[in-house]
Structure 1
Amino acid sequence: MKHFDDLLRDLNLRITPKRRAVLDILAGEEGYASPEEVWRKLKLRFDRVGLPTVYRNLEELAAGGVITTIIHPNRQLYYYYCDRREHHHHFVCLSCRRVEEVDVCALPDLEKLVAGRVVSHIFQANGYCRECLARQQGG
């Protein structure tokens, strides 16, 4: 929890039990989670917690770079806790929800094309991890 307190302090966010719990829930997931899944788990820990509170906390944490927003092909937003702070991207398994870190970035090549106009960028590769792909292929 101290690690979470430091992250929240760095973002100038109040350290609240619910914010800590959101981080704890996401850090305990094997992959990404929906806001509704986070909310259901929070309800087990707190008597009163609304879904809007969960959405607000997820958005604040994502804006601060403490959690990663996963954009799913089904157009739903999911969230993933990644404790790696240096610049990187993610490969997302659409079957098991595993998220893998990817150290490849297209920004240097993109910068050549748009000459200093890029303010931010998002790169996320969606597909199937090796295990899920092998299962689908019967191997």
Structure 2
Amino acid sequence: MSQQFDAILRGLKLKITPKRRAILEILAGEGGYASPEEVWHQLKLRFDRVGLPTVYRNLEELATGGAISKIIHPNRQLYYYYCGNREHHHHFVCLSCRRVEDVAFCALAELEKAVAGRIVSHVFQANGYCRECSQNREDSLCDVG
């Protein structure tokens, strides 16, 4: 995986540093999204010195380059997610377990018709509960009655 991360960083024309590689490793190992503060706390376990502003700057560089995805949570907190899928797609985000699922659907063609070629970029993210969390929520509601 380390070689893959090095290739990503080279492709973004970013210097390959242990901290940048570690950020990618942390996010890839999460299996879901993580906040900058959560990434920072994990980095502090690996490195003697790492500042939160450095983490924010690196996350933003990686997101701008498309190496990681921003997850915009309804709580207005910004999270980040490593997605190995390099094809055009969008995400379904579970608000309970933090799982992120790829969604192949894209409404850009219909949107293009509506705004006649003026689109420069787009973001689509669906928030909700994955099947497992939905089932657990339903089960807990049944237990109440």
TM bin (shorter chain): over 0.9
Larger radius of gyration: 2
Residue 5 (structure 2) aligns with: 4
2:69 is aligned with 1:68:
yes
User: Gaps (5+ residues) in structure 1?
Assistant: none
Residue 13 (structure 1) aligns with: 14
Which has more helix, going by share of residues? 2
SS in structure 2 of the partner of residue 137 of structure 1: helix
User: Gaps (5+ residues) in structure 2?
Assistant: 141-145
2:59 is aligned with 1:58:
yes
Give how far 1:40 is off: 0.1
Separation in structure 1 between the aligned mates of residue 90 and residue 27 of structure 2, nearest angstrom: 18
Separation in structure 1 between the aligned mates of residue 7 and residue 135 of structure 2, nearest angstrom: 40
The two structures, once aligned, show a CA RMSD in angstroms of: 0.7
SS in structure 2 of the partner of residue 28 of structure 1: helix
- The amino acid that maps onto 2:56 is Y
Residue 143 (structure 2) aligns with: none
What is the aligned-residue identity percentage?
76
Separation in structure 1 between the aligned mates of residue 7 and residue 116 of structure 2, nearest angstrom: 36
Q: Deviations over 1:77-135 (max 9, x none)?
A: 00000011110000000000000000000100000011110000000000000000000
Q: TM-score, normalised by structure 1?
A: 0.99
Aligned length: 139
Give how far 1:72 is off: 0.1
SS in structure 2 of the partner of residue 84 of structure 1: coil
Q: TM-score, normalised by structure 2?
A: 0.95
Residue 115 (structure 2) aligns with: 114
